[in-house]
């Protein structure tokens, strides 16, 4: 049991991005106050900044590269850039507009602006001590659930692991389904799969009825989207509810911990990594594996094969160790004695199936 923190305010609906100006104006009591905009690099050529309430004199606009998973060094660099541009004054808001990568970076920077040290110092559970700068999340793709969670995930030299804190939760989010029309099919499906698999994990794990109710509704919407007809509004709602389920969860399950090694060592993007991992976990998800593979086939998404062909023993150990650092999800899956059940050798056997 713990005291759960949710997103404070949200706006949902097609075209709701127009409300951003009103939200920012309420924050800017001083005309010289600054707002930091982190925007997915996908929108650089789209000139999206022309349609956003950006004050060129005081605000800070940074396009975020999403070619790779976010790394601690990059987050620390961005924080230093913002501090330098803002001088001694904190921005009144930090905005993350994009997918999970961009939103998680916004969460991290908002925390590091008010807490000493580096991003990697806060990887883990409830290590952040001071409230972050006010932050706004605007997802432009659906599935990661980053708009609703208390986690900001990135890779450091130690592992792929999140800043898991109440101070990571967005103060405001804007859910505008119109953005989903811009997403290429394969990226849309991989990211949506992240939500689908999160829901399954939370339902299988040792979680509260609140968590399971949210995950169950999210999974219902995901099945309508995947098995019936694509609907951007339902997909965005499913992502949000799935994120809410994660935010209230006592633990996850097996798939995401296993996937982290694929990102940490082999560099696979998160959505693809969780799909590769789930495809090798038939032992633990027999009720869902056939449906999962059918969805991939329907949307013509082909997973990479034989990805462990040229992996060294050292890399295999690194991936297994990265998985086993996720103690809470694995305890949720296997109980207090999880380390005796889900051993390093067991993880390596699963990885070698991929």
Q: What is the pLDDT of residues 289-314, one digit of tens each?
A: 999 999 999 999 999 999 999 999 99
d(CA 226, CA 220): 10
Contacts of 20 (CB under 8 A, 6+ apart): 52, 53, 95, 136, 138, 174
d(CA 203, CA 207): 7
Q: Is the pLDDT of residue 177 over 80?
A: yes
Instruction: Give burial (CB, 10 Å; 0-12/13-18/19+) of 298.
Output: exposed
**What is the DSSP track for 99-144?**
SHHHHHHHHHHHHHTTS-S-GGGG-EES---SPPPPEEEEESS-SS
Q: HSE-up of 5 (CA within 13 Å, CB side)?
A: 15
d(CA 214, CA 237): 11
**Residue 1 confidence (pLDDT):** 63
> 95: left (phi > 0), else alpha (psi -120 to 50), else beta?
beta
Would you give the DSSP letter of residue 91? P
The span from the first CA to the last CA of the chain, in angstroms, equals 36
Tokens 């883990």: give the residue: 124
pTM for this model (two decimals):
0.93
- Higher pLDDT among residues 11 and 205, named by residue: 11
Instruction: Give burial (CB, 10 Å; 0-12/13-18/19+) of 289.
Output: middle
CATH superfamily of 185-354: Dehydroquinate synthase-like - alpha domain (1.20.1090.10)
Residue 47 pLDDT grade (very low, low, confident, very high; cuts 50, 70, 90): confident
Residue 240: name the closest of 72, 4, 9 by CA: 9
d(CA 156, CA 159): 5
- Please, what sign has the CA dihedral across residues 137, 138, 144, 145? positive
**Residue 152 confidence (pLDDT):** 96
| Mean pLDDT of the chain, nearest integer | 95
CATH class of 9-181: alpha beta
Q: What count of residues does the chain have? A: 354
Domain boundaries, the chain: 9-181, 185-354
- Give Rg (Cα) of the chain: 20
Residue 35: name the closest of 120, 122, 109 by CA: 109
* pLDDT tens for each residue of 213-262: 999 999 999 999 999 999 999 999 999 999 999 999 877 799 999 999 99
């Amino acid at each position: 049991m713990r005291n759960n923190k949710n997103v404070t305010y949200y706006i949902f609906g097609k075209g709701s991005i127009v409300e951003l100006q009103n939200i920012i104006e309420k924050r800017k009591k001083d005309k010289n106050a600054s707002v930091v905009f982190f925007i997915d690099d996908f929108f650089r050529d789209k000139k999206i900044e022309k349609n956003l309430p950006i004050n060129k004199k005081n605000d800070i606009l940074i396009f975020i590269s999403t070619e790779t998973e976010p790394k601690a060094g990059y987050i620390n660099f961005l924080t230093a850039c913002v501090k330098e541009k803002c001088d001694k004054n904190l921005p009144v808001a930090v905005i993350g507009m994009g997918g999970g990568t961009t939103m998680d970076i916004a969460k991290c920077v908002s925390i590091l602006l008010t807490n000493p040290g580096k991003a990697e110092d806060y990887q883990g559970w409830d290590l952040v001590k001071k409230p972050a700068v006010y932050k706004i999340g605007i997802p432009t793709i659906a599935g990661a659930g980053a708009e609703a969670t208390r986690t900001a995930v990135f890779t450091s030299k130690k592992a792929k692991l999140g800043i898991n804190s109440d101070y990571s939760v967005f103060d405001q989010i804007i859910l505008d389904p119109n953005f989903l029309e811009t997403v290429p099919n394969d990226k849309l499906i991989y990211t949506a799969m992240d939500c689908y698999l999160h829901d399954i994990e939370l339902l299988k794990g040792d979680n509260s009825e609140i968590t399971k109710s949210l995950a169950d509704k999210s999974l219902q919407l995901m099945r309508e989207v995947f098995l019936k007809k694509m609907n951007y509004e339902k997909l965005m709602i499913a992502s949000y509810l799935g994120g809410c389920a994660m935010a209230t969860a006592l633990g996850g399950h097996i798939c995401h911990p296993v996937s982290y090694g694929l990102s940490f060592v082999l560099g696979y993007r998160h959505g693809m990594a969780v799909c590769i991992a789930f495809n090798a976990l038939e032992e633990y998800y027999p009720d869902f594996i056939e449906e999962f593979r059918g969805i991939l086939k329907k949307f013509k998404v082909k997973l990479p094969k034989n990805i462990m062909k040229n992996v060294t023993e050292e890399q295999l150990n690194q991936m297994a160790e990265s998985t086993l650092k996720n103690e809470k999800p694995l305890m949720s899956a296997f109980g207090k004695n999880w380390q005796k059940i889900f051993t390093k050798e067991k993880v390596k056997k699963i990885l070698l199936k991929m």
